[in-house]
Amino acid sequence: MPEAAVEDLFAEVAAAHPRCVWLDGGGAREWSGRRSLIGWLEDDDVSLTYSASRREVLRHAGGRSEVVGDDIWEVLEREVDPGEQWFGYFGYACRPDLPATPSQDVPDAVWMRPSHVRMFDHLGVVRERTAHIPASNGQFAPGLPRGAAYAEAFHQVQEALRAGDTYEANLTYRATVHGSADPMETYLRLRSINPAPYAGFLQHDVADHAAWLLSSSPERYALIDADRVIETRPIKGTTPRGATEQEDAANAEHLRTDPKLRSENLMITDLLRNDLAMVCEPGTVEVPALMRVESYPSVHQLVSTVRGRLRDEITTIEALRRLFPAGSMTGAPKLRTMEIIERAERELGGPRAAYAGAFGWISGDGPADLGVIIRTLTTPDTRTWQIGTGGGITVRSDVAEEAAEARLKADRVRASLDR
Annotated catalytic residue within 3, 7, 219, 345: 219
> Is residue 299 within 8 Å of 391, Cβ to Cβ?
no
Active site (annotated) includes residue 236: yes
Q: Which residues contact 397 (CB under 8 A, 6 or more apart)?
A: 154, 158, 260
Distance between CA atoms of residues 219 and 325, nearest Å: 13
Distance between CA atoms of residues 108 and 171, nearest Å: 20
Phi and psi for 158 in degrees, rounded to 5? -60, -40
Distance between CA atoms of residues 202 and 200, nearest Å: 7
Distance between CA atoms of residues 34 and 122, nearest Å: 6
The residue among 81, 67, 157 whose CA lies nearest residue 393 is: 157
Distance between CA atoms of residues 75 and 55, nearest Å: 12
Distance between CA atoms of residues 159 and 152, nearest Å: 11
Annotated catalytic residue within 7, 236, 345, 409: 236
String of DSSP letters for 132-195: --PPP-SSS---PPPHHHHHHHHHHHHHHHHTTS-SEEEEEEEEEEES---HHHHHHHHHHHS-
> Is residue 98 within 8 Å of 321, Cβ to Cβ?
no
**Rounded (5°) CA angle 405-361-367:** 115
Active site (annotated) includes residue 260: no
> Is residue 225 within 8 Å of 367, Cβ to Cβ?
yes
- How far does Cα 388 stand from its chain's mean position? 10
> Is residue 200 within 8 Å of 24, Cβ to Cβ?
yes
Neighbours of 419 (CB within 10 A): 14
- Single-letter amino acid, residue 2: P
Distance between CA atoms of residues 105 and 292, nearest Å: 36
Length of the chain: 419
Compute the radius of gyration of the chain from its Cα atoms.
20
- Single-letter amino acid, residue 254: H
Catalytically active residues are 219, 236
